[in-house]
Amino acid sequence: MPIRITGMNSGLDTESIISELMKAKRISVDNVKKQQTKLQWKQDAWKDLNSKVYKLFNTTLNNMRFSTDYSKKITSVSDSSVASVVSSDNAMNAAQELKIIRKASAGFLTGAKLNGGSYTKSSKLVDITDADGDKIEAGSSFSVTVGGKTTDITVTENMTMGSLVSALKSAGVDANFDEKNQRLFIGATTSGTNGDFSITASNKKGITALSALGIFDNGIRDDGEDTAVMKEYKKYADMTQEDKEATINAEVAKRLVSYIKQQKSLNETKEKQETKLQELKTDYTRDGYTGNLDDADTKSKLQADIDDLKSEIENLGTPEEGTPEATALAEKNEALAELRKEMAYVTSYEKAKASLAATEASLAEVESYLDEDGISASDTLIDEVTDMVNDKIESAIEVLANASTNADMKRIDGQDATITLNGVEYTSTSNVFEVNGLTITVLGQEGDEATLTTRQDTDGIYNMITNFIKEYNSLINEMDKLYNADRAKGYEPLTEEEKKEMSESEVEKWESKVKDAILKGDSNLSTVASSLKSIMLAGTEVNGKRMNLSDFGIETLGYFSSANNEKSAYHIDGDENDSNTSTKENKLKAAIASDSDTVIAFFSQLSQSLYSNLNKMTAGTDLRSFGSIYDDKKMKEDYDSYTTRIKTLEQKLNAMEDRYYKQFSAMETALAKLQSNQSAVSSLLGGL
């Protein structure tokens, strides 16, 4: 805003005069702003109301308009400590007898305490001995089988207890070594027989290793049943020559596929590494050297140059800027930086070369298992697998003949849960059963019994209807309150200047008066409310008979008994939460209990009628968006139109104000000239 100095010649308070003149002119702009503010408040009121209508439409009515929405079933259990039951909508209404035969359990192995010493997770396995003093040897092998997948673990010279735990976890079980109690703990990750695990020796050394680790299990149980461990040992101990050959062939084929994939991957890696090395060789050039990165002297010569240059830099110290010594120092530092870059380059080449060597070694090992054609098994692979199977057969025979489970070890075998329902047996890997629409979770113990009684969830139907009535009442009462609000005659939105003259509470009270009456007598609001009331009042036809809400004890209180703006609200006879009707007989509950089909048919059709009606009103038009019951598009256009109009009026006022200032400025200029002329005349007269 420009700084104006006025009234110097006239002595008039020009600022105040123009301010008063503009105040009168600004009334037209303020009136338009007030109209825009009222429109904004009207939009806000409609948005709030629209969200409540849409919730009734999209959630409540949408979930009540089909008879299947009411088909809720519940199942009571005669003894809640035996089982819990969740019923689906298609569960049969019946009483059924449940008996727990066996609960599901997950396999778990608590290892025996390790013999002597105090081992940690970093202890090497080859330092651990069994009760007879025999050490675990490198090459000891045992297998972990989980869910039909077998993983072989072979002890190496440097394998630690921690790495063993990691290998067990990779094999599909959970594992931990408790250093305080010196025991291994191994558990299945899922319950049931399918999730159980077995750990068996793959060679004779493996028997000693498992025994020393406190986790050797021969699979023998008091009940005589074959455990997963026993089945694994018997599979190899009882293997015929034909089965042996089939096992060898299958294992060879499996490994062959794996080695062929590895060969392809390693060849691709090797090719990339060779390309990278060649690029490094091609890019590397250095004055005074051959550029041969494979020459061992290259790195040593480069390091010698770096050391010499560093010494020269140290000898120069810290020379003054601008001196020849300072220039020399800068040049040597730059040269040193270049040498260090070259050293990094050489180091990168060495690493790349080492990676290629490792890849070539891995490739050579993999190819030793493949024949010359690269797609057939070599004698090395066949011999290795044959030796492995022979070792397993030998160790299995040894275990079944002589070996004993670690005395201090405890093994819990994984087992499936079994129940009988109405005398029929069902099995599950967990303690949860799904039978004929019921989800039964076993909680009790073996031998426990209970009666499961499935019935229609009448309370659920009743709650669904009462919640609908409550939501409808809240919405229709609010609509009536907004439509019938007291007039706010004489009240308009306040300008900023008007707000400054009032306290915050006075401003809030004033604006609330306007906002509360913002939808009074709104024709659109009347249309929406009237359509909902008409559908509720009309009722619906069920099995050829016209029925109304009153047939289920749901009515309004009447014009003179109802509170203001609650005359269209419905009350349920016998509703304990409604003081107006709580003492009456609850016809709705009685109807649900005696003839739930009729109740469901009535309310699903009533909900469908309300849903269809609101669906039409919120379909969207040129004036309103989809999902809106009011003309939101038109209101936005009007609001934008007000914004444009206000801007135009503001520009006119600014121009008018500038014109006033120019006029007063011209007057001041004229007065100044007049005064100047008078002074000149006075000066002349004074000189006579």
Q: Pick the most confident of 1-15, 156-170, 274-288, 515-529.
A: 156-170
Q: Quick check: is 479 in a domain?
A: yes
Distances (CA, A) of 414 to 104, 107, 194, 448: 7, 4, 8, 21
Q: Quick check: is 368 in a domain?
A: no
Higher pLDDT, residue 140 or 27? 140
Mean pLDDT on 474-500: 89
Kindly state whether residues 532 and 667 are assigned to the same domain. Answer: no
Kindly state whether residues 139 and 98 are assigned to the same domain. Answer: no
In the three-class reduction of DSSP (H, G, I as helix; E, B as strand; rest coil), residue 571 is classed as strand
d(CA 222, CA 15): 110
pLDDT for 244: 94
Cα 511 → chain centroid:
43
Q: Quick check: is 240 in a domain?
A: yes
Q: Quick check: is 325 in a domain?
A: no
The pLDDT-based confidence of 291 (bands split at 50, 70, 90) is low
Kindly state whether residues 477 and 546 are assigned to the same domain. Answer: yes
Kindly state whether residues 465 and 579 are assigned to the same domain. Answer: yes
pLDDT for 221: 86
Mean pLDDT on 579-594: 92
Look at the block and give the residue holding tokens 């062929």.
260
Burial, 585: exposed, middle or buried (Cβ in 10 Å; 0-12, 13-18, 19+)?
exposed
| Beta-sheet pairing, 438-442 with 83-87 | antiparallel
Kindly state whether residues 113 and 195 are assigned to the same domain. Answer: yes
The pLDDT-based confidence of 197 (bands split at 50, 70, 90) is very high
Q: Quick check: is 18 in a domain?
A: yes
Q: DSSP string covering 399-414, please?
A: HHHT----TT-EEE--
d(CA 109, CA 49): 63
Q: Which two tokens stand for residue 142?
A: 């045992």
| Tally of domains within the chain | 4
pLDDT for 22: 63
Kindly state whether residues 436 and 469 are assigned to the same domain. Answer: no
* Number of DSSP helices (H) and strands (E) in the chain, helices first: 15, 19
Distances (CA, A) of 263 to 364, 366, 374: 9, 7, 9
Kindly state whether residues 472 and 603 are assigned to the same domain. Answer: yes
d(CA 647, CA 649): 6
Residue-range definition of the domain harbouring residue 535: 62-68+459-484+521-630
Q: Which amino acid is at 186?
A: I
User: Do residues 67 and 604 make contact, with C-beta atoms less than 8 angstroms apart?
Assistant: yes
Specify whether the backbone of 301 is left (phi greater than 0), alpha (psi in -120 to 50) or beta: alpha
Measured between alpha carbons, how far apart are the two ends of the chain, in Å?
50
Nearby residues of 593 by Cβ (< 8 Å), 6 or more positions away:
458
Kindly state whether residues 445 and 571 are assigned to the same domain. Answer: no
pTM, 2 dp: 0.59
Mean pLDDT on 457-469: 91
pLDDT for 484: 92
Quote the longest CA-to-CA distance of the chain: 155
Nearby residues of 492 by Cβ (< 8 Å), 6 or more positions away:
34, 38, 514
d(CA 197, CA 206): 17
pLDDT for 624: 87
d(CA 167, CA 161): 10
Distances (CA, A) of 255 to 169, 363, 376, 385: 22, 15, 11, 9
User: Do residues 33 and 495 make contact, with C-beta atoms less than 8 angstroms apart?
Assistant: yes
pLDDT of 24 over the 70 cut: no
Q: Quick check: is 98 in a domain?
A: yes
Mean pLDDT on 286-294: 58
pLDDT, tens digit, 9 for 90 and up, residues 396-452: 999 988 878 888 899 999 999 999 999 999 999 999 999 999 999 999 999 999 999
pLDDT, tens digit, 9 for 90 and up, residues 62-81: 989 888 788 788 999 999 99
Q: Quick check: is 336 in a domain?
A: no
Kindly state whether residues 407 and 423 are assigned to the same domain. Answer: no
Q: Quick check: is 189 in a domain?
A: yes
The pLDDT-based confidence of 683 (bands split at 50, 70, 90) is low
pLDDT for 265: 95
- CA angle at residue 658 from 657 to 659, to 5 degrees? 90
Kindly state whether residues 472 and 392 are assigned to the same domain. Answer: no
Cα 678 → chain centroid:
89
Kindly state whether residues 465 and 591 are assigned to the same domain. Answer: yes
Alpha helices per DSSP H over 375-457: 379-401
Mean of all residue pLDDT scores within the chain: 88
pLDDT for 3: 45
Kindly state whether residues 143 and 237 are assigned to the same domain. Answer: yes
User: Do residues 228 and 145 make contact, with C-beta atoms less than 8 angstroms apart?
Assistant: yes
Going across the sheet that includes 174-178, the strands are 174-178, 183-187, 108-110, 410-412
The pLDDT-based confidence of 21 (bands split at 50, 70, 90) is low
Q: DSSP string covering 339-367, please?
A: HHHHHHHHHHHHHHHHHHHHHHHHHHHHH
The pLDDT-based confidence of 326 (bands split at 50, 70, 90) is confident
pLDDT for 671: 72
With CA atoms as reference, report the closest residue to 104 among 429, 413, 421.
Answer: 429
